[in-house]
Structure 1
Amino acid sequence: MRSVVMSRQAPLRLLDLAAQSLLSDEDSAMRALGELPVGLFPTLSAVAFEGGHTKTVTAMVQAWPFPCLHLGSLRDQSITQDLLEAVLDGLELVPTNTACPRRSKLKVLDFTHDFEHSNWEECSETSPAPFVITHVLEEPEADQLTPSFREQPRSDREPVDIYTDLFLGGLFGFFHLSGFPSYILQRVGKSHGCLRLHCRTLVINQVPFRSLIEILGMLELEAIREVRLHHRSRFCFQSDLIQFFTQLGQMSSLGKLIMSDIPWDFPADCFSLLSPLGHLQKLHLTFGCLSGQLHKMLSGLQKPLETLVINGCRITENDITYLSQSTHATRLKELVLCSNNLSQTVPGPLEVLLGEVSGTLEHLNLRSCRLKEAQLRALLPALCCCSRLRSLVFYDNVISTSGIMNVLQHLAGLKELKRVHYPVPAECIVYLDEYRWGNLNRVELARVHTRLQEMLQALQRADMELTNCTSMP
């Protein structure tokens, strides 16, 4: 066994030693790139990165024999700004090593953890975490630009696509972009089209819309697939909101949009600017200004949604009525209506909505919806028609033990239903109101849980997982 392990490891150690020896003289290493076997490029590049050989890194990028360079497995601390600047120099500038006849085939530079373009042949895996931008976009000082960056970028090759995920974070309304993220955005902006920045996932937390608009202008908007926007500031200009939503509407590949903590004066009419979106499937909304405005947000979307999360948005009976009559009710697989007062929608539009989604619905969340036992009982006929339902959440509603048992008995026939998150029964706790608990009788709760499980076993549904929320707020 030992000899087998050694025989497998020895070639790797020899290659590393050979690469280190070659890199001991960077000029020699750069001259050797023209004759270096293609298969040795990944090993030499890994050693060059680890040793901080910036000149060799630039030269290797200029002679890279593969269509893709995946930097997704390098540790954060291994990637200095000098090394990343060296990579970008290699992408943009005319090779200084004229003795090397090899021309770069590089088309994609990847800084993501799970690069999707696996169809690229012979992609190298030489990861940083996605660029984390935690600090308004600033111009670098003139003396910060390296001499090579002042040179004219090369124009005799196809543009190189840079793939990454961006996390934009501000603090107390301030947003300052510095370090390598600032550098790469500036390089993309000044590359005359040689570099194109593709961002799959864009996370925005507390970033002023004006700064965000500037950054979005540097991205290939059609490449963005997911946007998570968290914005608590009450100070924003409507013109900035309109411009941001115009840019959002240009994200033709956007499949998931999460918006939370949006200002109270947010104009719901901005959603009409999202009408060009043809791939949006998942929409998460968490802000209080939605009440009575759901039709403005959904009516312009081209295709039905598969996931709709409306969390704490103060939706009204009219909102539920609109949703039940919309095309979105024909395709929804996940529906989350938690932390909304739905007590006025039963009997009425909530039953109709559940009936409309019964053919596709897989996950339903009715947590903290102020539903009483009689209202939940009225929903059971519609719920029993949801043949594809896999999970049901209805905790933080005031329901008795007998009411919970009644729900489980009715839904036991749904063979796909595997997970039910039920409320703490009213007999086991003192409810101060719909959202606050008093003392919890854990002994009684354990007895109730055992009874529920025994009942499911008798119904031949021991495969159904029951959970309850017993942590005090």
Structure 2
Amino acid sequence: MEMNRQDPLSLLDLATQSLLSDEDSAVRALEELPVGLFPVLSTAAFDGGHIKTVTAMVQAWPFHCLHLGSLRDQSITQDLLEAVIDGLEQVSTNTACPRKSKLKVLDFTHDFEHSNWEECSETSPAPFVITHTLEETEQPTISSREQCQWDREPVEIHADLFLGGLFGFFHLSGFPSYILQRVEKSHGCLRLHCRTLVINQVPFRSLVEILGVLELEAIREVRLHHRSGFCFESDLIQFFAQLGQMSNLGNLIMSDIPWDFPADTFSLLSPLGHLQKLHLIFGYLSGQLSKMLGGLKKPLETLVMNGCRLTENDITYLAQSIHATRLKELVLCSNNLSQMVPGPLEVLLGEVSGTLEHLNLRSCRLKEAQLQALLPALCRCSRLRSLVFYDNVISTSGIMNVLQHLAKLKNLKRVQYPVPAECVVYLDEYRWENLNRVELARVHTKLQEMLRALQRTDMELTNSTSMV
């Protein structure tokens, strides 16, 4: 009869447990502990909640980086995480273990990779979720960028930050607020590097305070979601001034911003030299695109303008701007472009034809004749890889005409087309009902047969019903 047995502990595991049973002995042993045993001992120390040993190990850590991502999915107390920060700050005054720490980076990012233990330890995710601002303190605030008072280089703390509103639903622990305060009070000895910054419903005044603790030049991506109908313009200007200091920012997303956004503040982004992707998803952009993009000195590669109420002047400006010569992805969905053909939209597609790879014209109120007028410009987009034009009112013959012309584009592999007018009852340009799925399936088969005849079986076809 078979019995369920747990695997016996290895000699290394038994030795580790024995060492940790007396923390004072474990701390003293760190001076002579072989480098290769530090990861094993540190894992056991965290698992067992040995706070004193954790602090001492940080002070004697023999590697460049300590990655604590795997701690998120375990029952790690705030005491343990505080012990790590204590170890960072006490590393230069450690007398229990004279072994000099090589630690330069404490990493909490979600996709950290390493090649060997000379670089780091664990590799699992542990992003911070912040739901409140720093607590008020009576001591004067000292910038983290002031001269560090340690006798060694500052230690970097790497983390992807998700900033929730004051009444957000994410409440992992008090550690995020705690670590921000420790960084702020460290006089530059601890520096918080955030690569991805997600901001959801955070008042701008609080956001400005938090950004003051971060190393702004380390931020690569910002996602701003803000529905509040009220904010002080002075706070907004200060936030954009900080945004402009993010010299390595490559991706900026701004969505759901219903208040009358002062586009002039975008001039504060002119120092950005690495911005490649800009997503604008709000209605108050209308007629102000030149103000928003005019300050950028380098062309964008991705521009998303979803539901921005674009005007003819906006499209005309974009066609004449430096961005038109470099755009690889252009998303114009949920804008009424029906009055821009013939005219600015054709010109714009002609200007981006040399680089464009992805084009999204979903829900742009384009009719059959307008799409027909755009075909010459579209056919010049030799690098086009995907096209989306569903939720525009077009007949089966109109869709076939578009595909027949675009089949010449050998790089075009994905097309999302609208439900043909014969298959539904359109209530307006965006809404339809009474879908005839049998007829739609027949049309889809017909389109695929046409592509086979054109030797384009490599082109993937989908329609808007696939998105539901």
Compute the TM-score of the two structures, normalised by the length of structure 2.
0.92
Say whether residues 1:216 and 2:211 are aligned partners: yes
Is the CA contact 1:290–1:313 (under 8 Å) kept in the aligned structure 2? yes
Residue in structure 2 matched with residue 454 of structure 1 by the alignment: 449
- In the alignment, the residues of structure 2 paired with residue 373 and residue 311 of structure 1 have an alpha-carbon distance, to the nearest angstrom, of 22
Distance 1:108 1:56, change over 3 A: same
The aligned counterpart of 1:390 is: 385
State the SS of the aligned residue for 2:419: coil
| Cα 1:79–1:207 shift into 2, 3 Å | same
Compute the displacement of 1:71 (Å): 1.4
Pick the aligned partner of 1:370 from 348, 365, 372.
365
Partner of 1:421: 416
Residues 139 and 186, structure 1, Cα contact 8 Å, conserved in 2: no
Question: What residue in structure 2 maps to residue 51 of structure 1?
Answer: 48
User: Structure 1 stretch 33-42 or stretch 108-117: which is displaced more?
Assistant: 108-117
Does residue 15 of structure 1 match 2:12? Answer: yes
Unmatched 5+ residue regions in structure 2?
1-6, 140-147
2:347 corresponds, among 323, 342, 352, to: 352
- In structure 2, what is the equivalent of residue 80 of structure 1? 77
**Deviation larger for 67-76 or 36-45:** 67-76
Question: What residue is the counterpart of 1:105 in the other structure?
Answer: 102
Letter in 2 for 1:55: K
In structure 2, the partner of 1:61 is 58
Contact 1:314 1:340 in 2 (8 A): yes
CA drift of 1:471 comes to 6.5
1:320 partner amino acid: I
The total of aligned residue pairs comes to 455
The answer to whether the Cα contact below 8 Å between 1:42 and 1:126 also exists between their aligned partners in 2 is no
Give the TM-score taking structure 1 as reference length: 0.91
Query: CA, structure 1 residues 358+49, in 2 after alignment: closer, same or farther (shift >3 Å)?
Result: same
Output the amino acid matched with 1:115. Answer: F
* SS of residue in 2 equivalent to 1:22: helix
- Picking from 199, 209, 225, the partner of 1:204 is 199
Structure 2 equivalent of residue 125 of structure 1: 122
Mapped to 1, the partners of 2:9 and 2:60 lie a distance apart of 23
Amino acid at match of 2:241: T
Structure 1 residues 290 and 472: CA distance shift in structure 2, 3 A = same
Instruction: Determine the C-alpha separation between the residues in 2 that align with 1:21 and 1:289.
Output: 65
Match of 1:332 among 327, 330, 348: 327
| Structure 1 residue corresponding to 2:297, chosen from 299, 302, 308 | 302
Cα distance, 1:406–1:73 mapped onto 2, change above 3 Å: same
**Residue 445 of structure 1 aligns to a residue in which SS?**
helix
* Map of 1:170 onto structure 2: 165
Which one is further off, 166-175 or 188-197?
Answer: 166-175
2:430 paired residue among 415, 431, 435? 435
Is the 1:343–1:369 contact (alpha carbons within 8 Å) kept by the matching residues of 2? yes
SS at match of 1:132: strand
Aligned equivalent of 1:283? 278
Q: Which amino acid aligns with 1:180?
A: F
Counterpart Cα distance in 1 of 2:169 and 2:22: 46
> Following the alignment from structure 2 to structure 1, what is the Cα–Cα distance between the partners of residues 116 and 362?
43
Displacement of 1:17: 2.4
Deviation at 1:11, TM superposition (A): 11
| 1:24 equivalent in structure 2 | 21
With 65-74 and 411-420 compared, the bigger mean Cα shift is at 65-74
Identity of aligned residues (%): 88
SS in 2 for 1:203: strand
Letter in 1 for 2:162: F
Q: Is structure 2 residue 221 aligned with structure 1 residue 226? A: yes
Spell out, residue by residue over 1:34-79, the C-alpha distance to the aligned partner (whole angstroms, 9 max, x if none): 0000000011001111111111000000000111111123343333
1:470 is paired with a residue of what secondary structure? helix
Structure 1 residue 185 corresponds to structure 2 residue 175 = no
Q: C-alpha displacement at 1:13, in angstroms?
A: 3.2
Q: Distance in 1 between matches of 2:62 and 2:418?
A: 60
Selected match of 2:459 from 455, 464, 467: 464
Alpha-carbon distance in structure 2 between the residues aligned to 1:373 and 1:312: 21
Which blocks of at least 5 consecutive residues in structure 1 are unaligned? 1-9, 143-152
Give the SS at the match of 1:444. Answer: helix
Instruction: Specify the code of the residue in structure 1 equivalent to 2:53.
Output: T
- Give 1:176 shift: 9.9
| CA shift for structure 1 position 25 | 0.9
